[in-house]
Amino acid sequence: MSEILQKLADCIEFGKINKAAPYPPQMKGLDGADEITKQALDEGVNAQQILTEGLMVGMEKVGIKFRENKVFVPQVLMSAKAMSTAMIHLKPYFLSGEVKRKGTFIIGTVEGDLHDIGKNLVIMMLKGGGFQVEDLGIDVAEEKFVETAKAGTQLIGISALLTTTMPSMKTVVEALKAAGLKDRVKVMIGGAPITQAYADEIGADGYSPDAASAVDKAKELLEIK
């Protein structure tokens, strides 16, 4: 990895947004993800390389640390902010097709459930893993999942925090089957009360116990290396 991409990966890993950002203390006064991404582009570094060899490397390290309880939600949020700041500079390259996404992921919290912290963490990890993510928000009815899936997606993520809203996950899976989409679209579920056994019971294709492992499961379901 080139020195500039290593610096960018470090900014993402430690949540260094820009030069003015005081966090993390050990990087105070140094360029952040904002400046280094611009520098890399100015130096002619390929936008795809910036994504895969800089940003995604940093987020993967964050994911591992989060999974091992070495960092917590506040640190992940700072890393996600640094990632989002860098992605602004890459947006024109996504639109032009120069940078390729790993896949399209639609995600939402089921109807009747207003919790979104876990869902938002999953979104951050997926974006960091190179996925294009569409967030349907909270309290999402099965019709919305089906409608959005018809517009074209490869993977749907369904989140629930309350045991009382878990049955809505099954309703979504059944609605996708009724619409003839289940063979084309993979469904992954997650949330505090969710288990692999429940995923099997309702016919979901996958389950992730936490935000960090969601990226690995998404790649597995879409057969992405």
The whole-number pLDDT of residue 1 equals 60
pLDDT digits (tens, 9 = 90+) for 120-151: 889 988 988 889 899 999 999 999 999 999 98
CA distance 209 to 98: 33
Instruction: Compute the average pLDDT of residues 48-66.
Output: 92
pLDDT digits (tens, 9 = 90+) for 108-121: 999 999 999 889 88
The whole-number pLDDT of residue 223 equals 85
Taken in order of first residue, the domains within the chain and their CATH numbers are 3-96 (1.10.1240.10), 104-221 (3.40.50.280)
Instruction: Compute the average pLDDT of residues 168-184.
Output: 95
Please give the mean pLDDT across all residues of the chain. Answer: 93
Instruction: Compute the average pLDDT of residues 168-173.
Output: 97
Lowest mean pLDDT among 13-27, 59-73, 88-102, 198-212: 88-102
Amino acid at the residue 212: A
Residue-level length of the chain: 225
Residue 93: phi and psi, rounded to 5, are -80, -30
The whole-number pLDDT of residue 40 equals 97
The whole-number pLDDT of residue 180 equals 95
Q: Residue 225 pLDDT > 80, yes or no?
A: no
Q: Please state, for a pLDDT cut of 70, what percent of the chain lies above it.
A: 99
The whole-number pLDDT of residue 121 equals 87
Instruction: Compute the average pLDDT of residues 209-224.
Output: 88
The structure's pTM equals: 0.80
Q: With beta carbons less than 8 A apart as the criterion, state whether 138 and 112 touch.
A: no
Q: What is the largest CA-CA distance in the chain?
A: 56
Mind spelling out the 3-state secondary structure of the chain? CCHHHHHHHHHHHHCCCCCCCCCCHHHCCCCCHHHHHHHHHHCCCCHHHHHHHHHHHHHHHHHHHHHCCCCCHHHHHHHHHHHHHHHHHHHHHHHHCCCCCCCEEEEEEECCCCCCHHHHHHHHHHHHCCCEEEEEEEEECHHHHHHHHHCCCCEEEEECCCHHHHHHHHHHHHHHHHCCCCCCCEEEEECCCCCHHHHHHHCCCEECCCHHHHHHHHHHHCCCC
Instruction: Compute the average pLDDT of residues 20-26.
Output: 96
Q: Band the pLDDT of 49: cuts 50, 70, 90.
A: very high
Burial zone of 32 (CB within 10 Å; 0-12 exposed, 13-18 middle, 19+ buried)? buried
The whole-number pLDDT of residue 63 equals 87
Q: Residue 43 pLDDT > 90, yes or no?
A: yes
